[in-house]
Amino acid sequence: MSRDYSHRLIVQEVAPRDGLQIEPKWVDTDDKIALIDKLSTCGFTRIEAGSFVSPKAIPALRDGDEVFHRIARRPGVIYVALIPNVKGAERALAAHADELNLVMSASQTHNRANMRMSCEASLAGFGDIVRLAAGSKVSLNATIATAFGCPFEGRIDEDRVVAIADTYREMGMHGITLADTTGMANPRQVARLVERVLERVPADALTLHFHNTRGLGLANVLAAYDAGARRFDAALGGLGGCPFAPGASGNICTEDLVNLCDETGIPTGIDLPALIELSRALPALVGHDVPGQLAKAGRNGDLHKAPDYVHAI
């Protein structure tokens, strides 16, 4: 089976948002800004830099306004903000976010647990945000969370996911993300769903968001890429975690993903040694080990010195 590895894979770095949001230790605003500014020099074209949610709900990201105002905007980089509602959208527009990422779960139960509203209420809010953003230069992305499975409901009907994608497009969303929020996707399912969604959404408007909760993150990326997907979320160091699975891995790890691409020849435009250096500074920032593996193992090309006795054999 011959595959085509020549298409560029776009990585959207989400550590400043999906990575940091569940960290129990407060990360200083200056440190967040320094991290984002360093990420901006690594070759990313998209960085999810923060969220505008209730400070009570996500205290770790309560400084989103200041972060967005003070980061050094690098030309060619789109700085994305996660938005739960109209109030968050107003704050994000005031902070000059380039793109708003709205979230609704395919699972009613998960949406009620996560957003504290029904899917219908979420969609009504999305309509308000579309009207608010009209006339501004901001672009809109809408995420379908739990698109590959729900930790409360289990399997999610693929027709429902496809129908939500249609609804998002009809509402005027520029981009759509299929999110495997708690790492339940498998490569066979990913290939099938990506193929169906790409029949209605162009590849440059579709993002895949995988967690590595059950070790399948990079296998799912390859299955999606083989099916035509080109844009992927990933978090430096594999930050993120899952509140339902203590000790389980978080988002797919950016440097592990870029290493996969470098080794297979998939172009990303991202500077892997710079990423590894940033990742190795993460444990000091968040106060614990992180799941990413490349920063521990090094790249294939980082050769080891053979023991002296081999020369005597």
Among 130, 203, 222, 281, binds a copy of itself (CB under 8 A): 222
Displacement of CA 7 from its chain's centroid (Å): 20
Which one, 175 or 250, has the nearer CB to a copy of itself?
Answer: 250
Among 28, 41, 94, 113, binds a copy of itself (CB under 8 A): 113
Binding of residue 120 to a copy of itself (CB under 8 A): no
Q: What beta strand segments (E) does the chain contain? A: 10-13, 46-51, 78-83, 99-105, 139-145, 175-180, 206-210, 231-234
Residues annotated catalytic, as ranges = 242
Q: How far is residue 168's CA from residue 142's CA, in Å, rounded to a whole number?
A: 7
| Interface of this chain with a copy of itself, residues 134 to 163, rule: CB under 8 A | 149, 151-154
| Interface of this chain with a copy of itself, residues 230 to 259, rule: CB under 8 A | 242, 244-249, 253, 256, 259
Binding of residue 48 to a copy of itself (CB under 8 A): no
Dihedral (CA of 222, 223, 227, 233) sign: negative
Binding of residue 300 to a copy of itself (CB under 8 A): yes
Which one, 135 or 301, has the nearer CB to a copy of itself?
Answer: 301
Q: How far is residue 80's CA from residue 217's CA, in Å, rounded to a whole number?
A: 22
Binding of residue 217 to a copy of itself (CB under 8 A): yes
DSSP per-residue codes, 84-132? SSHHHHHHHHHTT-SEEEEEEESSHHHHHHHHSS-HHHHHHHHHHHHHH
Binding of residue 8 to a copy of itself (CB under 8 A): no
Q: How far is residue 145's CA from residue 177's CA, in Å, rounded to a whole number?
A: 8
Chain residues binding a copy of itself by CB under 8 A are 1, 3, 5, 109, 112-113, 116-118, 149, 151-154, 183-184, 186-189, 191, 212-219, 222-223, 226-227, 242, 244-249, 253, 256, 259-260, 263-265, 289, 292-294, 296-298, 300-301, 303-307, 309-310, 313
